[in-house]
Structures are given as structure tokens and as C-alpha cells.
Amino acid sequence: MRRRNNLVSAVNENLPKEKKMKTQHDYLRRGILGAVAGAFVAITAGAAGAAGYPDKPITFIVPYSPGGGSDQQARRLQPGLEKALGVKVRIVYKTGGGGAVGFGELWRSKNDGYTISNVVVPNIVIAGKKGSVGFKAGKFSYIGMTERAVGALMVPKGSKLTSLKGFIAATKANPGKITVAGVGGTGKVNMAALGSILNIKYTYVPVSGGVGKMIPMLLGNHVDAGMTASNHAVKHKAKLDALVVAGSKAIPALPGVPNEPKWEYMTTWGVMAPPGTPADRIKILNAALLKTTRAPSVANAISKGGYENMYQTPAEAAAYVAAAVKKFGN
């Protein structure tokens, strides 16, 4: 730039005064126009970059087996997300370790907005307590929570355990012999809470891979009872009977099932991305998620399935998980 200015000065020395001024103005005008054009190119290039996302398929990792709550959530969301984002959403299963395998897979994925996953609370916090899993529950990029359901204790139809009172009596008569299946470490924690409230002794049977693996065990009478979120009791109520649900709020889809107000078991589902995913892409994904979950077909499917609908911003979702980390992470 200095060399150019020197050249201009040298040329101007040999020009009349009027032409000197005109030449200087020309160079000044060209410099201003060049700067404006450069700024315009930079701005439009940035806008084009934001507008260009997404431009290829997105992978949706489900950390539990087909048929479970996470699978149901992903498949409910898939059509709406594809429509809102304009690209295909491919569902893949990475199961095991009470969800830890799938959560870990997302943790290690590229943080470009093209890989997302279910987030299940408190499962992700409980699974993340083991140092060997390689992820931290509070550090993912959270897109939003979509639904939640309270816990339920259930038995197969035809079981001799036809009521909560009968279940309690059986555990008292046969301490430690009544078997209750649940999903991994999360199920163990939640069933232990109910067992403490009811003052009963039972044998817990952990199931790896999710509720999709647990329900066949229950229907096949391989265990006496199963404990999971109430949405599964709703989905399988033709073959299963719920004995009790957590909390004090009745579930319309499970009429007549008693509540246990002291049992604070709640499972929440949402969607997340790898740590450090750009905020502008999280914003785009959140807008698509909200548009999908507010569509009447999806909203009605969630509420009729025994869930409570949730509509969150990324900040609200992150705060929700942070509260769970504080509660379950110790």
C-alpha cells in the first residue's frame, strides 16, 4: 500500500494542480468502493454459509434398542424434522451400557450439526457417573426437551400380582424372591426409591439395551414385574397391567391406576448434539424441533401416549440437564 501511495505521489508531481486533485479523488473513490465491495462479499458469504445448513443427511443416534421410548421419540420426530430441515434424517442404533454406548458415540462425533441423538434424563446423568464412559452429561450441546413421563410398575396380564397391595404382600411373604426388571443402572436407582417407600425386598434384574429388550422378558414371564416410564404401560396396556405410577397426577390413559406421591420418578426425552456444535446450527435445529413437536399430529401422539409435552429453547434444555446433574450426579 505504501509503494502504491508513493507511485501516486510521483505521478501527481508531474500533473497540473486541477488534475492532481482529480487523480487523488479517483484513487480515494476507488478505495472506498473497493472496501465496501469487500465488506459486502464477506457479509453475503457468511449469510450464504448459515443459509446453506443443512445440505446433507443428518444422522440421529438412538442409544437404546428398537421399540423403546427413545426409538419411539426418534420415529415420531423424523418426518417433521426432514420436512423442516429439507434433508433426510437417518436413524441408527448404538445400544448398550444403559445408553452409555450411544451417548459416547455422539460425544465423539464431529460437532458440525450433522449428528444428533436422543437425550434421556436422568439416564444420561446416571450412565455418565462412570468415569470409563468417556463423556460428561452436562457438556453436550442441547437442542431441546420434547416430552416426559412418570414411572410405572407393571406386570403381565394374567399375573397373580393383580394390585399394588398384592405385590407388596408377595414381597413380604417371599423376601428377595419377586423379580423386577428395569433398564440398567437408571432402573436400579428408580426401583430402589420405590422399594424404600414401600419397605419391600425384591431382586432387581438389569436389562441392557433399553425397554425394547425388557418388555419381551416381561411378556414372556421371565420376570415377575417390570419398572419403567408410564408411556410403556400405555403402549402395552393390552398385554400389561400397571400397578402404580409415580407422582400425584393421574394419567388419563391409565384410568384407575393408583399414584405414589412420594415416588419422584420422571423420565424426560429430548434431542442433543455433540459438545461445541455451533450455536447458529443449534438454533436451526431447535426451530425445526419446535415446529415438529407443535404439529397437531405429533403433539397429540405425545399426550395420548402417556407423556407430558415439552417445548424448550436450547438454554432451557441445558438448564434442565444441569439440574439433573446436580440431583443425580453425586
Tell me the pLDDT tens digit for each residue of 48-104.
345 699 999 999 999 999 988 999 999 999 999 999 999 999 999 999 888 999 999
Kindly state the average pLDDT of the residues 221-247. Answer: 94
The confidence score (pLDDT) of residue 51 equals 65
The confidence score (pLDDT) of residue 212 equals 86
Indicate whether 28 pLDDT > 60.
Answer: no
Would you place residue 37 in the very low, low, confident or very high pLDDT band (cuts 50, 70, 90)?
Answer: very low
**Full-model pTM:** 0.76
Kindly state the average pLDDT of the residues 23-28. Answer: 48
Kindly state the average pLDDT of the residues 207-218. Answer: 88
The confidence score (pLDDT) of residue 41 equals 37
Would you place residue 330 in the very low, low, confident or very high pLDDT band (cuts 50, 70, 90)?
Answer: low
Q: What is the pLDDT of residues 145-199, one digit of tens each?
A: 999 999 999 999 999 999 999 999 999 999 999 999 998 888 999 999 999 999 9
The mean pLDDT of the chain is 87
The confidence score (pLDDT) of residue 10 equals 45
Would you place residue 26 in the very low, low, confident or very high pLDDT band (cuts 50, 70, 90)?
Answer: low
Q: What is the pLDDT of residues 266-291, one digit of tens each?
A: 999 999 999 999 999 999 999 999 99
Angle between the 279-294 and 314-328 helix axes, to the nearest 10 degrees?
90
Domains present along the chain, CATH in parentheses: 59-147+275-328 (3.40.190.150), 150-266 (3.40.190.10)
Kindly state the average pLDDT of the residues 96-116. Answer: 96
Indicate whether 8 pLDDT > 50.
Answer: no
Indicate whether 40 pLDDT > 60.
Answer: no
